[in-house]
Amino acid sequence: MNRLLLGVLLIGAVGRAPLTSVGPLVSEIRADLGLSSAAAGLLTTLPLLAFAVFSLVAPLVAGRAGLERSLAIALLLLAGGIAVRSLPAQLWTGTIAVGAAIACFNVLLPSVVKRDFPDRVAPVTGGYSATQSVVAAVASGTAVPLAAAAGGWRWALASWALLVVVAVAVWAPSVREAGPGANGAARAPLPWRSGLAWQVTLFMGLQSLAFYVLITWLPTIERDHGIDPAVAGWHLFAYLAAAVAANLLVPLFMRAGAAQADQRLVGLGCAVCIGAGVAGQQWLPWNAWWALASVLVAGFGAGMAIVVCLSLFSLRTTDARQAAALSAMAQSTGYGLAAGGPVLIGALRDAAGSWTVPVVVLCALTLAMAVVAWLSGRPGTVA
């Protein structure tokens, strides 16, 4: 395998696992540190807020240091953040550092793909997205037994720094070969005045919101409808597994025929699948099999959506710097929306007393997603 491609895949591999390993250990962290429920919830929201803020910083760093050095800096920051997060009284500082580092990956990897794999944008994007999803699922599933074996949640979370060290080692030759300041002389301004850029941004924001709402509330929705809690937990795993399958399959479709230049149909398919899956959770006859079918459809749509969005950062721009600028704009706004989504849906559930109103609102948002997916999928580049 090409060493640069391996480096991209490894950066993808460490781009979610340090976050998904936290959720299963929240009870242990709360008991150890005496956190309130609100503070525990901030553990999952704070990284999304960091994504929103530091997505705007990443192109500035890349403009000075270059893509290779910027990603190396982000890897070192991630390793440091993971280590610091596990120290006494440093949970929040480390969490912010982890979020900042991953924000840089989110923004700059599409630029590397645009520059170094211009004829394989969708397959490479799908590859590192799938790697990210698989390792994130493994991190979630192994968190509790790892904590039991390692002597507590601090060691379990800190252990992910080892994979980051491997990524640093693989990426280091790319930094040396690029030389000081490579590709760092100039940067493209964020395209705030471009209609196409806003269409891509809204697509990114709405699909991120739907993903994090379902990650947060899907098991609760199912439990409130009578599904056994253990079954609901496995359904969340199935949701993520379906997303991985889509990560791998959708690039094949995007390389076929007109889909290489025009992504309207595949973008529309993302929204239709997510909307159908969400609606099925509320209105299909309620049993575990129908619930699982809905989960798989929604998960496949979510996996499609992230690959299409990340690919659009490259496909709708003319060079790596412009790709970084569009990525920064879309991800800063998108993750800002995503951070508020679970809170909004939870508040609607409390106010309405059932899931009907929140699901109707989420379906309406997927309809809006379909519109911006169709618009952003048209051939063209950001002006």
pLDDT digits (tens, 9 = 90+) for 221-269: 887 888 777 777 778 788 888 998 998 888 887 765 445 578 899 999 9
Lowest mean pLDDT among 164-168, 175-179, 305-309: 175-179
Q: Is the pLDDT of residue 185 over 50?
A: no
For residue 120, give the nearest of 377, 301, 314 by alpha carbon.
314
pTM of the model: 0.81
pLDDT given for residue 256 in this prediction: 57
What phi, psi does 21 have (nearest 5°)? -75, -15
pLDDT given for residue 74 in this prediction: 96
Q: Say which amino acid occupies 342.
A: P
Mean pLDDT of the chain: 87
Q: Are 128 and 56 in contact (CB under 8 A)?
A: no
Please give the structure tokens belonging to residue 292: 């699982």
Over range 332-359, report the average pLDDT: 87
Helices (H), the chain: 3-13, 17-20, 26-33, 37-54, 58-65, 67-85, 91-116, 121-150, 153-158, 161-178, 195-224, 229-254, 264-283, 288-315, 320-352, 356-376
What is the pLDDT confidence band of residue 374, given thresholds at 50, 70 and 90? very high
What is the pLDDT confidence band of residue 99, given thresholds at 50, 70 and 90? very high
- 307 burial (CB, 10 Å; 0-12 / 13-18 / 19+) is buried
